[in-house]
């Protein structure tokens, strides 16, 4: 499943708050279903409930929200699942569009949104990067 990082979705929601509503508490009655369907989440190969690390990179993978919920506290082995191969896909989760979405949406941002997005933009596009 192709996923989209939540900050990218939230920047789009700033531009189109009626069409792509987002609720800070992810209330499903007021948050667009694309968040639940496509948001990229961090999942743990060895579940946290079974002592899996939250900081060791080898224990962390990207999962869509539905797979993360289904996996729950189980191991991949227990579920009969296997990790998807990392491919050289050109899909970047729409990160390429994030600076433009933020540029367009920032007038609608709260102070908290500004802090959130500036931190994520710095993470995706560190100083000296040439991605923008
Ligand atoms: Zn998935």
pLDDT tens, 91-109? Answer: 899 999 999 999 999 999 9
Does residue 130 belong to any structural domain of this protein?
no
Q: How far is it, in rounded angstroms, from Cα 39 to Cα 124?
A: 16
Mean pLDDT over each residue of the chain, to the nearest integer? 92
Number of domains in the chain: 1
Task: Of 70-74, 105-109, 124-128, give the range with the top mean pLDDT.
Answer: 105-109
Cα–ligand 1 centroid distance for 1 (angstroms): 5
pTM comes to 0.84
Report yes or no on 129 lying in a domain. Answer: no
Mean pLDDT of 62-87: 90
In a domain, 44, yes or no: yes
pLDDT greater than 80 at residue 131: no
Q: What is the mean pLDDT of residues 67-81?
A: 92
> Is pLDDT above 60 for 23?
yes
How many angstroms does the Cα of residue 113 sit away from the middle of ligand 1? 27
Q: Which domain holds residue 56?
A: 6-124
Query: What gap in Å lies between CA 102 and CA 12, rounded to an integer?
Result: 8
> Has residue 57 been placed in a domain?
yes
Residue 76 falls within a domain, yes or no?
yes
Q: How far is the CA of 25 from the centre of ligand 1 (A)?
A: 21
Q: How far is the CA of 127 from the centre of ligand 1 (A)?
A: 32
Query: Does residue 90 lie in a domain region?
Result: yes
Tell me how far apart the alpha carbons of residues 131 and 71 are, in angstroms, rounded to a whole number: 33
Q: pLDDT-based confidence at 130, cuts 50/70/90?
A: low
- R_g of the chain computed on alpha carbons: 16
Task: Please indicate, yes or no, if residue 132 is contained in any of the structural domains.
Answer: no
| Protein residues within 5 Å, CB atom, of ion ligand 1 | 1, 64, 67
């Amino acid at each position: 499943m192709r996923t989209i990082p939540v900050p990218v979705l939230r920047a789009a929601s700033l531009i189109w708050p009626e069409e792509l509503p987002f609720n800070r508490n992810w209330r499903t009655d007021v948050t667009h279903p694309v968040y639940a369907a496509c948001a990229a989440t961090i999942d743990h190969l060895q579940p946290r409930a079974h002592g899996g690390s939250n900081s060791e990179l080898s224990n962390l993978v990207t999962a869509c929200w539905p797979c993360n919920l289904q996996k729950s506290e189980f191991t991949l082995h227990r579920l009969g699942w296997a990790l998807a191969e990392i491919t050289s896909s050109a899909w970047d989760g729409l990160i390429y569009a994030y600076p433009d979405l933020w540029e367009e949406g920032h007038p609608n941002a709260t102070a908290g949104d500004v802090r959130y997005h500036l931190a994520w933009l710095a993470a995706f596009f560190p100083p000296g990067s040439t991605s923008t």
